[in-house]
Amino acid sequence: MATPVTVDWIALRAEASSAAARAYAPYSHLRVGAAGLMENGRVVTACNVENASYGLTLCAECGLVSALHASGGARLVAVSVVAGDGQPLAPCGRCRQLLFEAGGGGLLVDGGDGADPVALATLLPGAFGPTDLGARREAP
């Protein structure tokens, strides 16, 4: 069994905050940064990237999952998503699904100062995931 990784939430949130400072958000003016701790102990970060064609905006978590795979693809065990003020921001619905694929329901999400981290299963109950796909697909 893998050794459980200890999460330094203050440090993880600081990394997310640094990433938020690099956001490209000229339209919404909402900077978002995400930092994820992988089970191998490494941290990946990303920020939101907007586009003049608004619907093409990439959320910070989207970049995070991309960075995760580009750097080796380990499972995510903890994530902090913050706005430009450095405080946790609720991941949007699509990003909860992206995070579920990368870390499962046990992935811990930063709850902020004085609050416990929240398991992703609480933020995305009854999630559809890889197991459902395998179990329910029909033979070609």
Q: Which residues are catalytic?
A: 61
Does 87 bind ligand THU (CB under 6 A)? Our answer is no
Does 60 bind ligand THU (CB under 6 A)? Our answer is yes
Closer of 5 and 58 to ligand THU (Cβ): 58
The tokens describing 99, both together, are: 């995070």
Closer of 77 and 95 to ligand THU (Cβ): 95
Closer of 72 and 85 to ligand THU (Cβ): 85
Does 48 bind ligand THU (CB under 6 A)? Our answer is yes
Pick the piece of the chain touching ligand THU (CB under 6 A) from 2-10, 11-19, 57-65, 67-75: 57-65
- Measured from the Cβ of residue 121, the count of other Cβ atoms closer than 10 Å reads 14
Binding residues for ligand THU (CB under 6 A)? 25, 28, 30, 32, 48, 50, 57, 59-61, 91-92, 95
